[in-house]
Amino acid sequence: MGTATEAAGSEAAAASATAPAPAPAARVALVGVHGFGAHHLRNLHRLHAAGRVELVAVADPQPPAPGAVPPSAAVYPALDQLLTDTRDLDLIIVATPIQTHAPLALAVLATGAELYLEKPPVASLADFNRLCTAAAESGRGVQIGFQSLGSHAMKAIEELLQAGTIGTLEGISATGRWVRDRAYYKRSRWAGKRSINGMDVVDGVATNPLAHAVATALRIAGARTTADVASVETELYRANDIESDDTSVIRIRTAAGLPITCALTICASESVEPYVTLQGSAGTAVFHYTEDRLTVETAAGRTEETCGREDLTENLLAHRDHGVPLTSGLVDSGAFMLVLEAVRRAPLPAPIDPAYVRWEGEGDAAHAVVAGIEDALERAGRQHATFSELGLSWAAATPVAFPIPAS
């Protein structure tokens, strides 16, 4: 008879024999190394150190800073040249200007690689539909860069709603107030633009800087696909001398009848971490998504927890290797794309009367502050009302309803 130690050793050997072998490091290319691409570079360095990826090549018309990419990674000025010279890529990350997303994403899917595409996915609903078709035909995973959806707080929210902790969910609001100065709109030629040379850009407060607020609110409401949205209304304004909106209300109603109101600005007096509020019949839950912090208030008291977060690149690799569901898949960004399309097709943002705008700072560091905007955002979210419906003196526009296309 063998000893207990021998038996344990045999069991461990058997378990080792049946366990799947670790996947080889994924061959990765990054398109766009500046802006948010720099975040991806740092994350790829981390994953390389863990043996998960090998950064094979990068592409950007502006070369990376010295030492930013490993010496073994080839550097190209454009994706087409990278693809000509590079074979057998497992994953390509695209972190480039919005108007380039559609052609670059389609080119990636033609290679058979998995695709990580930064938000917003593309600049029109038509391009989104084309991309969905290409993704389905390729059979590859497409992850969209809504990083907040990887927060473990999302699961905690799902559980508290199922448990009835805050009662019946009656509405959701997303509130974002950030500061962006003149330099923000000078950083690139597409910043603050609705289009460039006839090409859609749709760089507005709800579609780019605070897009995560909209996407997170939609996901919590269970609105993932285009079929999950019944209506979208927009009321868009601008205090800056730009084409796009910098202060807006987006009001959505899901197919299940739940109201979602997103009140957003980048013309606040100071930046505050954005948050999504769940309005329940017996309490509220507030999710500060950039901090993964969830606060719940009911008659029983107040609780707060800070959750962990799943990395979307790792999730995409797990999807590729083991069939794990995507956290922020392309099709599940359909509801967000209806919001973007509503903004794209809305009238030009109404300029806010300069009498209600003050400027703080000097030169390119100066930033616009809309009078009373903090209170206006709170009231809009709480009452599910637009700025004009609140009777604000500077709110000269009216809500514009977007006709939801038939599925």
pTM (whole model) above 0.75: yes
Mean pLDDT across the stretch 372-396? 98
For 272-324, what is each residue's pLDDT tens digit? 999 999 999 999 999 999 999 999 999 999 999 999 999 999 999 999 999 99
Q: Which two structure tokens, joined as six digits, stand for 81?
A: 């040249």
pLDDT for the residue numbered 18: 54
Mean pLDDT across the stretch 177-184? 98
Residue type, 157: I
What interhelical angle do 37-49 and 312-322 show, nearest 10? 60
Weakest mean pLDDT among 2-6, 36-40, 80-84: 2-6
The CATH-assigned architecture of domain 152-307+330-402 is: 2-Layer Sandwich (3.30)
| pLDDT band (50, 70, 90) for residue 406 | confident
Mean pLDDT across the stretch 136-141? 97
Enumerate the CATH 3.30.360.10 domain ranges in the chain, comma separated: 152-307+330-402
| Nearest by Cα to 150 from 318, 357, 387, 349 | 318
What interhelical angle do 334-345 and 211-220 show, nearest 10? 130
| Nearest by Cα to 232 from 374, 368, 343, 329 | 343
Task: Kindly write down the DSSP assignment for every residue of 194-248, as one continuous string.
Answer: SEETTEE----TTTTTTHHHHHHHHHHTT--SGGGEEEEEEEEEESSSSSS-SEE
- pLDDT at 4 > cutoff 80: no
The CATH-assigned architecture of domain 26-147 is: 3-Layer(aba) Sandwich (3.40)
For the chain, the straight-line distance linking the first and the last C-alpha, in angstroms and rounded, comes to: 68
Instruction: Compute the mean pLDDT over every residue in the chain, rounded to the nearest whole number.
Output: 95
- pLDDT at 1 > cutoff 50: no
- pLDDT at 250 > cutoff 60: yes
The answer to whether 380 touches 261, Cβ cutoff 8 Å, is yes
For 10-37, what is each residue's pLDDT tens digit? 454 444 455 556 678 999 999 999 999 9
Q: 319 CB contacts (<8 Å, ≥6 apart)?
A: 114, 141, 143, 325, 326
Q: Largest alpha-carbon pair distance within the chain? A: 91
pLDDT for the residue numbered 23: 74
| pLDDT band (50, 70, 90) for residue 339 | very high
The answer to whether 402 touches 346, Cβ cutoff 8 Å, is yes
Mean pLDDT across the stretch 99-109? 98
Enumerate the CATH 3.40.50.720 domain ranges in the chain, comma separated: 26-147
